Copies of this chain bind each other. A is one copy, B any other.
Amino acid sequence: MKIGILLKEGPYNHQASDSAYKFAEAAIKKGHTVDAVFLYNDGVSNVTKLMDPPQDDRNIAARWDALHKQHGVEILACIAASKRRGISDEVLIEGASITGLGTLTDIAIRNDRLITFGD
A52→B12 contact, CB < 8 A: no
Docked CA distance A48–B86 (Å): 6
Interface size bucket, A side? 20 to 34
A13 within 8 Å of B (CB atoms): yes
A-B contact pairs, 28 of them (CB 8 A): A10-B42, A10-B45, A11-B84, A12-B84, A12-B85, A13-B42, A13-B85, A42-B42, A45-B45, A45-B85, A45-B86, A48-B85, A48-B86, A49-B86, A50-B86, A50-B87, A50-B88, A50-B90, A50-B91, A51-B83, A51-B85, A51-B86, A52-B83, A52-B86, A52-B88, A53-B83, A53-B84, A91-B91
